[in-house]
């Protein structure tokens, strides 16, 4: 394991915050959000070492932060947040991740769970047939020519809507309106483009999914009403990213960033934290490629949402067409943002890896319909329990650069999960709970058993209690499509 070493000392700051004091070459301290139980689960975990490692990087502003869904990742921990000064800081692929703009999109329907239950099998089968899933899944009717692919990389979800995949109103409910500026297709390798040309509109495998659920509980009824989350209505949650294209972009730039770190004299506590100054030629090229891959992911989820609407219409007719996009959020991204530091507004490059932007009410980047609410934050759990909708808060903006958690966080490796599931029939177990599963392979389901994840309710409770997000609604699954 790269970057392994002694686990740093951790000190309790309050009930939901833990400090990793500065030591060695750390330029700042670490800050981990967790309750006592979640922190106990982290004992001896290299993810804590990774928080300290991030604190070594040049130009870091404020603490190296970890959310309560923290677990070990490549370079940064998953659940990691770090902000860097635009002039003195760095950009790191390890702070974004391999699946650039892996994210979540939530559709709300006008159908009640009572309407859907009798035809649930039909709906799950229609979604599985309509939205390609699995390793290397592609659609023969959406193979992009190079010119079209370059447009996707520049325009993101806006390209998809212009091609008839969805509605103009969808764009207001997507982070950054579904298009990140600064995307440069010329910075994306031919190999990455080749991998991406026939994967647009596909789920992929691993922890990606399409999930049918219903609003089971509302913690803030007025906010839930504003988001169109009526009690008992059926939802579709889509979790996917930039597929093979984004993976290849990350892979392509690792050697470049390692060489850049050496060129610019950046001492790395872990080679997986390879990076370059934000304004350097290497940093600018990675930035152009990263934003292009992120736009691909926005278009990918936009097209899958269109396919999901098509499946709903196939099963429920006109009633299935009455859907709206609640929101679509990024998880793995770096962004230029303005934050207040020491009483002054500063331009920062905020890395969020396995973390969700959680901007507060009144933030100018939010669309008018969310301006007085705050940004919706979508937190998927495992396929056997529940997911959550939250809203961004002033507390998050002050303390975490406007960031919250992104999911439950793994507690078992994929290998251990498969071992645990070997003698079981996981789809049958879930069906007994009223949850239908469709998957390309048994291995994917076994890797994603509910026990492989922390209880997302505990993670969300920490976020809510710490004031870096506020709970709005809980969604329970009834149907899951996996690769």
Handedness of CA 303, 306, 307, 308 (dihedral sign): positive
User: 3-state class of 164 per DSSP?
Assistant: coil
SS (H, E, C) 438-479: EECCHHHHHHCCHHHECCHHHHHHHHHHHCCCEEEEEEEEEE
Cα–Cα distance, 314 to 304 (Å, whole number): 15
C-alpha distances (whole Å) from 334 to each of 179, 344, 371, 408, 412 are 14, 21, 23, 21, 27
Cα separation, 63 vs 175, in Å, equals 25
Q: What angle do CA 160, 164, 170 make, to 5 degrees?
A: 65
Task: State which H helix or E strand residue 103 sits in.
Answer: strand 103-112
CA distance 266 to 259: 10
Collapsed DSSP state (helix, strand, coil) of residue 210: strand
Longest CA span, the chain: 64
* HSE-CB of 431 using CA atoms within 13 angstroms: 11
DSSP one-letter code for 240: E
The answer to whether 73 touches 103, Cβ cutoff 8 Å, is: no
Instruction: Spell 264-288 as b/e; 16+ CB within 10 A means b.
Output: eebebbbebbbbbbbebebbbbbbb
Token pair, residue 467, equals: 């004031």
> Is 406 one of the annotated active-site residues of the chain?
yes
Among 71, 331, 406, 464, the active-site one is: 406
The answer to whether the beta carbons of residues 244 and 195 sit under 8 Å apart is: yes
Active site members: 406
């Amino acid at each position: 394991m790269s970057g392994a070493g002694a686990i740093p000392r951790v000190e309790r700051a309050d009930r939901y915050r833990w400090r990793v004091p500065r030591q060695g070459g750390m330029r700042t301290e670490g800050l981990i959000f967790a309750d006592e139980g979640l922190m106990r689960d982290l004992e001896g975990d290299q993810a804590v070492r990774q928080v300290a490692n991030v604190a070594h990087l040049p130009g870091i502003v404020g603490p190296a932060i970890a959310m309560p869904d923290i677990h070990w990742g490549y370079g940064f921990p998953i659940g990691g947040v770090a902000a860097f000064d635009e002039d003195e800081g760095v950009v790191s692929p390890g702070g974004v991740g391999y699946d650039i703009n892996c994210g979540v999109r939530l559709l709300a329907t006008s159908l009640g769970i009572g309407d859907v239950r009798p035809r649930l099998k039909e709906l799950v089968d229609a979604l599985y047939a309509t939205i390609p899933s699995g390793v290397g899944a592609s659609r023969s009717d959406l193979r992009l020519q190079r010119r079209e692919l370059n447009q996707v990389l520049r325009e993101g979800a806006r390209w998809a809507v212009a091609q008839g995949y969805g509605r103009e109103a969808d764009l207001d409910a997507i982070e950054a309106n579904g298009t990140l500026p600064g995307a440069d297709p010329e910075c994306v390798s031919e190999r990455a483009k080749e991998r991406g040309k026939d994967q647009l509109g596909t789920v992929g495998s691993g922890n990606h999914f399409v999930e049918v659920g219903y609003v089971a509980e509302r913690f803030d009824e007025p906010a839930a009403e504003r988001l169109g989350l009526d009690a008992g209505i059926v939802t579709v949650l889509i979790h996917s990213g930039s597929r093979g294209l984004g993976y290849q972009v990350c892979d392509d730039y690792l050697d470049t960033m390692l060489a850049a770190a050496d060129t610019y004299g950046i001492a790395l506590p872990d080679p997986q934290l390879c990076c370059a100054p934000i304004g350097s030629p290497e940093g600018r090229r990675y930035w152009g490629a990263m934003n292009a891959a992120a736009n691909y992911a926005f278009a990918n989820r936009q097209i899958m949402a269109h396919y999901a609407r098509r499946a709903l219409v196939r099963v429920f007719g006109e009633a299935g067409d009455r859907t709206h996009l609640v929101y679509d959020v990024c998880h793995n991204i770096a962004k230029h943002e303005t934050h207040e530091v020491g009483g002054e507004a500063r331009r920062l490059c905020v890395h969020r890896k396995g973390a969700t932007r959680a901007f507060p009410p009144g933030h100018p980047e939010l669309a008018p319909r969310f301006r007085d609410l705050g940004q919706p934050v979508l937190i998927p759990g495992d396929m056997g329990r529940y997911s959550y909708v939250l809203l961004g808060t002033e507390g998050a903006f002050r303390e975490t650069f406007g960031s919250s958690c992104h999911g439950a966080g793994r507690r078992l490796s994929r290998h251990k999960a498969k071992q645990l599931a070997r003698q079981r029939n996981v789809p049958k177990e879930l069906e007994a709970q009223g949850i239908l599963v469709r998957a390309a392979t048994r291995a994917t389901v076994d890797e994603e058993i509910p026990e492989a994840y922390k209880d997302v309710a505990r993670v969300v409770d920490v976020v809510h209690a710490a004031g870096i997000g506020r709970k709005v609604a809980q969604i329970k699954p009834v149907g899951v499509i996996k690769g």
